[in-house]
Every structure is written in C-alpha cells, then in structure tokens.
Amino acid sequence: MKTDQYSLLKEKLSSKAFSSIFVLVDDNTDKFCLDIFIKKTKIKEFNKITINSGEQNKNIDTCLIIWDKLNAFNADRKSLLINLGGGVLTDLGGFVASTYLRGISFINIPTTLLGMVDAAHGGKTGIDFKLLKNQIGLFSDPLDVILDSGYLSTLTKDEFLNGYAEVFKHSLLTNKKDLNFNSLIKLDFYKDVTFIIEKYSEIKKEIVESDKLESNQRKVLNLGHTIGHAVESYSYMTTSLNELKHGEAIIVGLITELYISHKQLNFPKEDLENIKKTFSEYFNMVSFSDKDVEQIYDLMIYDKKNEADKLNFVLLKEIGTPVIDQQVTKELFVEGSPKICTKSFLLVEFTCIFLVLFANSHNNLIHRV
C-alpha cells in the first residue's frame, strides 16, 4: 500500500482543485469514522450528507435525498463527493456522483473489509430496484480509492468477517499459488489483514483491467453471486428468516455453486469438502424450506449474467480455473441445495439450503471504538 493513502486527496485539497467538497456518510460512519477521516486528511471545509445505513436504503429514494442536498448546497461540475462507508454507500454514492450534472468527481474511502477488498474497486456503481440487487447502475471510475485499514477497528466482529466472503472468492479465482485458497487459510485473518487487503484487492483490479465493462472475463468475479444475490434479496423480502449481510449470502452462493461445479465440471470433491469445513469454522448454519428454495430460484432470473431467459453461472473446474457462462438446470440447483450442507443436514426432515448467518463468537478481536 502507499505510505500515505490520502496523498492524492491532500494534493487536490491544497491546490483547491474542487469548487466544493461533500462527504457522504451513513448513520454508522458518521458516528465512528468521520472524526478519523477529518484527523487524517486535516480537511477544514466540507458539506456533510448523512443517509440511513443498510441494504434496504440502497435505492432511488436515498439518491433523491442526496441529489436534493447537492442542489441545496449549490454543487457544480467541479464539486467532489467523498464516499465514506461500506459497500452499500460506495455503490450508491458513486452512482449519485456519476449521474448528478452528468457526472462529478468522487473518491471512495471504504470503511469495511468487504469494501476494501471488493466493492469500492472496479467502477461499478448502482442501486437496488424493488429489493433486486444492483438492477440500476453504470460503470464509472472513482478519482481514487483510499484503503485505510484503520477504519476496521470501528467494526463489530460479524461485520469484519462479512468481508471475508469476497476474500475467499478471490482466493478461489486466482491461479497464483501464493494467494489461492489453500494459501489464504494459512494466514492470520486479523494480524495479516493489511497484507490481505492489499493482495486480494489486487486480484480484482487485475481482472477488471482486462475487461472493464464485464463483457467477458470479468464475469468470473460473479462466482457465488448468482445464488448469493438471490438469497440476499430474498432475505429482505421474507419474514421467515433474518436479513442476511452481503457476505453471508455470498458464502451460501459459493458453497452451492461449488457443489454444482463438482457435479457439472468435476471440481474436486476433496477441495469442496475442505472449503465447506473452512467456512463452517467462521460461520454458523441455518436452513431454508422447500418453498424458500423455489422462491430463491425464481429471483435468480433477474441476474445480470442471464441471456435469453437462461441462467448463466460462473463455475470452477478447480481452484484458480473459473469457467463463465455455464447454464445450470433447476434440477441441479435443487439437488445441490441440500447436498452442500454440513452435519446440520441430517437434523432436518425437509429439503433445505444451509446458509451462513453469523460469525462465530470466538472471533473477538474487532470491536467498535
């Protein structure tokens, strides 16, 4: 990482490159992160815009609130929007900035592990539409992405582990042996977090550079997301279970899609079992009913990778060898749902998907300050 992550921003501030500066925060980052940001940047003049946190607020209504605030503060095309928050906020803030006056500059400062290794990079901005994930958006690159692991001290332990879903995903995609899944699990997830942020965010950036508009190879970054996004959306639509964080839903998607990879592309069973075992060490399992499985399948038709009403998945032949545009039958999806389960599967009498829900309580090194 750069010695001073804030160097570009400080340079722009000292040169008065912007007519006005806006800092977008949510109710959490306003309380826990804004003072850290002010201390590190020594910024003196800016307009703060605060929104409600959470995936349920990643919608056009929140955009309208921000656009109204920008208008009220007389923002112009030389204004800068700084997005200080997790993946929801950087996605939404980037979308707001990229559409306001046909585009103003923005900088992402992710404050969660998920944002640092994944969401804040790659130029994808967007919002949800009727609780369907990222249905509206565009590609637009931030002026800078500032990676400061100091913000991780503001997270609860489950919010911290939520980000490791994307780290796990990147480790399954890379063909670099020193960074693949088997190497990742040898690291200390807390002591080595700065190394992990740097190296595993680079995996995504390298993939994005080869295919900025996701017409081909960038699709591999959707591993676990065809099912994961549907699971996440469903958790907000139903009263039958608690709402799932993005990372928790993606772990579900990864386990299920790796089982499908085993059946369809001969992904090694030994690797599948090892990955399941590793996930179970960090996350607990809960179940979905047959009805839930049907409704999750129905939501997958809205996935952006689909073509001509056919579900397209990213699957793995082996660790480090992803294959895009793989069509999967409903029968295999339903078959895979219970088959990927761990020991809890034997305790229920109906078809279910076992989902990752909460981080294990033994991870207690991350706390709010």
- What is residue 81's three-state secondary structure? strand
- Which tokens hold the place of 251? 């772990």
Q: Are residues 172 and 268 in the same domain?
A: yes
Q: Are residues 325 and 219 in the same domain?
A: yes
**Owning domain of residue 287:** 160-359
Q: Are residues 99 and 166 in the same domain?
A: no
The number of domains in the chain is 2
Among 198, 145, 200, CA closest to 171: 200
Is residue 219 one of the residues assigned to a domain?
A: yes
Give the Cα separation of 140 and 143 in Å (integer): 10
Q: Are residues 114 and 170 in the same domain?
A: no
What is the structure's pLDDT at 348?
Answer: 30
Is residue 91 one of the residues assigned to a domain?
A: yes
Q: 295-299: long-range contacts (C-beta < 8 A, 24 or more apart)?
A: 295/234, 295/238, 296/227, 296/230, 296/231, 296/234, 296/353, 297/230, 297/330, 297/333, 297/334, 299/132, 299/229, 299/230, 299/233, 299/234
What is the structure's pLDDT at 289?
Answer: 84
What is the structure's pLDDT at 188?
Answer: 95
Domain boundary among 154, 172, 198: 154
Is residue 365 one of the residues assigned to a domain?
A: no
- Kindly give the confidence (pLDDT) of every residue in the chain, 369 residues in length, as a single tens digit, with 9 standing for 90 and above: 556 889 989 998 888 899 999 999 999 999 999 999 999 999 999 999 999 999 999 999 999 999 999 999 999 999 999 999 999 999 999 999 999 999 999 999 999 999 999 999 999 999 999 889 999 999 999 999 999 999 999 999 889 989 999 999 999 999 999 999 999 999 999 999 999 999 999 999 999 999 999 989 999 999 999 999 999 999 999 887 788 899 999 999 999 999 999 999 999 999 999 999 999 888 767 677 888 899 999 999 888 777 777 889 999 999 999 999 999 999 999 888 744 333 232 223 223 344 443 344 334 333 333
The CATH number linked to 166 is 1.20.1090.10
Give the Cα separation of 138 and 31 in Å (integer): 30
